[in-house]
Structure 1
Amino acid sequence: MGSDKYRASNGSDQLWRRVIPFGTYTTGPPFIREWNMNVMRLFRIYYNLSGRVRQKLEKTVPGFNIIMGKV
């Protein structure tokens, strides 16, 4: 068995070859990129929402700025 052949992870006798040579830079499979975009989207939503909630509380709750200044 050559160094570029590996056993399948399911324990079968099928062999597979590594498509990308060792030492080659790659950003990973497309699902990792998609996952990163989803995480960044959720972060932007949370960041924008928390800013809007703070602005709303500053306008409607008396003394909110004083309390947040102590936190």
Structure 2
Amino acid sequence: MAPRFYLDLIDGDETVPDEGGLETSDLDAATAHAQDVLREIRMAGRLTGAHGPWEIVIRDARGRPLRRIAVS
């Protein structure tokens, strides 16, 4: 069974938690998926009105943060 990773979207003050998660082979694959998600959100113009810098925090099934990806 592949590990499950959760991609929480954070805008400085607010967190949009990933309730379902993503099963993928490893942290690098989860990171690539997170970068794709950010690209899609950015292209849709949905990263406006933020209270702070946007980022995705990738966490494991226990809730531990494993990697942060800042939106540039």
Q: Confirm or deny a common fold (TM above 0.5).
A: no
Bigger fraction of residues in helix? 1
Structure-1-length-normalised TM-score = 0.33
Question: Using CA pairs below 8 Å that are at least 6 residues apart, which structure has the higher relative contact order?
Answer: 2
Choose between structure 1 and 2: higher strand proportion: 2
TM-score normalised to structure 2 length: 0.32
